[in-house]
Each structure stands twice: as C-alpha cells, then as structure tokens.
C-alpha cells in the first residue's frame, strides 16, 4: 500500500502555491506509506531556472545519519558546487533540498555532461532526475519530515507529483523511493505491483538499459521512457504498458507538458481524480484533495480500468 498524489495547475495565479498545496496532499497520504517519500516539482525558479538544465542527485544514497535521520545531504551544497565546477570547468549552482542536491548549469552545457560529472565526482551517486523543468527529491523517512527537509512548502511551479511508500518489492532506500525519473523531465509513481517485472527488466537490459534499483516501479518507468524516446506520446506509451505488464497498479506519469493516469484492468488500487477550471488533481484517496482551492466545485470521479486520462499544458 502506497500513496500517490499529483497536481497540474491550469491557473498561473496558483503557481506560487504549488509547494504549499502539494505538501498538504503528500502529508495526507503518510498513513499509506511512511517508509520514504519523494516528489517531482516542475517549474520552480530556484531549482530549475529558465535557460538552465538541472540534475537532482544524492551523493551517498545509502548514508543514514543518526543525528538527522538521513534528512540532510552528506555533502554541503557549496562544496558540491565547487567540486562539480572543477570537474566541468565552469560554474555550477547547487541547491540543497534535504538529502537531495539539485545542480543546474546553462542549457548549452546539457544534462548529460552534468550527470557524467556527478558520477565522476561521486561514483555511487543516485541520479534522481534531470531535465530543463523538473527537480526530483527523494529520501527515507516520514513524509511530513521529508517535506519540510525538502523545503517543499515554499516551492513554486505548474505541476507536482508525490509518493509515499510502504515497501513491498525492494529495500527501503532512496533508490527504492518514487518518483522514478529516468528520462528528461519525466517521472512515474506507482501504487501496486508488477508481477512480470523481472522478464521485462531482462528485455530492457538486453537493449542497453541500466537499472538503479531492484524496484518493480523502475521497470515501468524505464519502459515508458524507452517508448517516449522512440517517439510515442504519453498516452500511447501507457496503452502499450497496459498490454505488456501484468499485476495490480495505479500509475501517474508526467513530463514537462503532460500529466496522465492509468489503472490496471481490475482497478483494485484506489484512485480519485478532481478537475477544476484552475487545476487537475489525482490522489489515492479523496482526503488528499480536500485542501485544494475550490474543491467543492470540482468534478470528482474514479478513473475507469485501463483508460488513459491525460492533460496537457
């Protein structure tokens, strides 16, 4: 049992409140998973400034500090900026968000060069996400504590995705924490389990994909990223996922300009969608939505099995 939340803002007047609203949604799902929690935030001007590309990473993803519960980065942001700047030969800006660091450089430098620099400087680093618009923050601990450590209440932007995890398929580590963001500006969160993930993992490895965890959700994320890289849109990629993966699941997939939800054929994992003129939201339970502005005016419904629900910016 895990908790999923997502918020896609249609009204730019709400962009300054994205983090505040997403924090309330995430914390309401704490009882569905208190092992770890992660978020993806699109469009925050500090983490992903315009004209730059960002990489979110943990230098030492297995480190647990008894004093902080692992809620702080092992390497301070200024030190990480110096180390990465030396490696790249140009200035790098780094912001701390709890245990995650978010580095950004001019778009001309590119995310590949920045990811390579991170891996060179910290060979065991976990790349949590990358792109022009997304910051992906991961950590182990209670969702309420992590949200504060990330600085999530103050985040801004147009879209956010969150997940609270109760581990069933793999270890409680940042590597097992959702969202999985394995393509540019992409992320996927999942409640449920894929029963044939080992076979699909093997097939993806055979085509050159590498994996950061033993989590079944990462297999789904890499499958979707593979299809998007081949030119599929999100809806088509998710339709193919429903015919390829077995199991029980509710998925929320996002990229820089879209936000999509799908459930398996039996739809035994809970989900509710709310549509309002100012926003679209999804959560595992209605209680995560009650704090949204105008919720009493929203259209509420339960997504149907294997139907793709998608919204575009």
Q: What whole-number distance in Å separates Cα of residue 228 and Cα of residue 232? A: 5
The structure's pTM equals 0.95
Q: What integer is the mean pLDDT of 77-104?
A: 97
Other beta carbons within 10 angstroms of residue 307's beta carbon come to 12
pLDDT of the residue at 165 = 78
Mean pLDDT of 191-218: 93
| pLDDT surpasses 80 at 128 | yes
Final residue belonging to a domain, choices 84, 111, 132: 132
Residue 138 lies in a domain: no
Looking at the fold, whether 24 and 68 belong to one and the same domain comes out as: no
The secondary element (H helix, E strand) that includes residue 221 is: helix 216-229
Q: How high is the pLDDT of residue 47?
A: 98
> Are 258 and 229 members of one domain?
yes
User: What is the average pLDDT across 35-43?
Assistant: 93
pLDDT band at 64 (very low <50, low <70, confident <90, very high): confident
Average the pLDDT over each of 111-115, 130-134, 192-196, 301-305 and give the range with the smallest value: 192-196
Cα gap 58→99, rounded to integer Å: 6
Q: Is residue 64 part of a domain?
A: yes
Look up the CATH number of the domain holding residue 56: 3.30.70
Which carries the bigger pLDDT value, residue 268 or residue 67? 268
Q: What's the pLDDT band for 3 if we cut at 50, 70, 90?
A: very high
Any domain includes 85: yes
Residue 172, pLDDT > 90, answer no
- Record the tokens describing residue 84, joined without a space: 């990465």
pLDDT in the model for residue 90: 98
In this structure, the answer to whether residues 16 and 68 fall within a common structural domain is no
Q: Which domain holds residue 233?
A: 3-42+143-312
Same domain, yes or no: 167 and 269:
yes
Structural domain count, the chain: 2
**Residue 27 falls in the annotated catalytic set:** no
Confidence (pLDDT) at 35:
81
C-alpha distances out from residue 282 to 61, 95, 119, 197, 302, Å: 29, 29, 34, 25, 10
137 inside domain: no
Residue 167: per-residue pLDDT: 64
Residue 53 has a pLDDT of 98
Domain co-membership, 215 together with 95: no
Identify which of 290, 276, 224, 230 has the alpha carbon closest to the alpha carbon of residue 252. 224
Catalytic residue among 2, 27, 177, 187: 2
pLDDT at 184 > cutoff 70: yes
User: 215-250: per-residue pLDDT in tens?
Assistant: 899 999 999 999 999 999 999 999 999 999 999 999
* Alpha-carbon dihedral sign for residues 257, 178, 98, 147: positive
The answer to whether the beta carbons of residues 189 and 162 sit under 8 Å apart is: yes
Compute CA distances 118 → 99, 249, 299, whole Å: 15, 33, 44
Confidence class for position 62, pLDDT limits 50, 70, 90? confident
Whether residue 99 has pLDDT greater than 90: yes
* CA distances to 49, 118, 272 from 6, in Å: 22, 29, 11
pLDDT at 66 over 70: no
Domain holding 30: CATH number?
3.60.20.10
Q: How many beta carbons lie within 10 A of that of residue 9, not counting itself? A: 22
In which band, very low, low, confident or very high, does the pLDDT at 169 lie, cut at 50, 70 and 90? low
152 and 53 together in one domain: no
pLDDT value of residue 212: 86
Residue 1 has pLDDT above 80, yes or no: no
Instruction: Count other C-beta atoms under 10 Å from residue 277's C-beta.
Output: 10
| Average per-residue pLDDT for the chain | 93
Please indicate, yes or no, if residue 255 is contained in any of the structural domains: yes
């Amino acid at each position: 049992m895990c908790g999923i939340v997502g918020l896609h803002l249609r009204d730019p007047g709400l962009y300054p409140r994205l983090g505040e609203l997403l924090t309330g949604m995430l914390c309401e799902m704490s009882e569905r998973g208190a092992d770890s929690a992660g978020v993806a935030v699109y469009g925050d001007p500090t983490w992903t400034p315009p004209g730059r590309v960002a990489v979110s990473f943990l230098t030492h993803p297995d480190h647990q500090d008894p004093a902080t519960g692992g809620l702080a980065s092992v390497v301070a942001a200024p030190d990480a900026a110096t180390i990465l700047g030396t490696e790249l030969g140009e200035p790098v800006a780094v912001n701390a968000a709890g245990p995650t660091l978010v580095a950004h450089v001019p778009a001309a430098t590119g995310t590949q060069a920045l990811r390579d620099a991170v891996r060179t400087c910290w060979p065991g680093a976990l790349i949590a996400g990358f792109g022009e618009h997304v910051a992906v923050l991961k950590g182990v601990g209670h969702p309420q504590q992590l949200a504060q450590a990330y600085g999530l209440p103050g985040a801004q932007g147009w879209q956010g995705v969150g997940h609270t995890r109760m581990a069933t398929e793999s270890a409680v580590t940042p590597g097992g924490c959702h969202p999985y963001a394995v393509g540019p500006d992409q992320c996927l969160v999942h409640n449920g389990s894929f029963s044939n993930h080992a076979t699909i993992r093997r097939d993806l490895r055979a085509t050159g994909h590498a994996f950061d965890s033993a989590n079944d959700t990462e297999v789904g994320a890499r499958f979707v990223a593979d299809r998007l890289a081949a030119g599929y849109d999100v809806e088509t990629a998710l339709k193919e996922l429903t015919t390829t993966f077995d199991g029980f699941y509710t998925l929320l997939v996002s990229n820089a300009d879209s936000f999509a939800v799908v459930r398996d054929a039996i739809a035994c994992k809970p989900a509710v969608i709310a549509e309002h003129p100012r926003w679209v939201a999804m959560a595992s339970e209605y209680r995560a939505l009650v704090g949204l502005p105008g919720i009493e005016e929203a259209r509420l419904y339960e997504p149907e099995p294997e139907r793709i629900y998608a919204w575009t910016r």
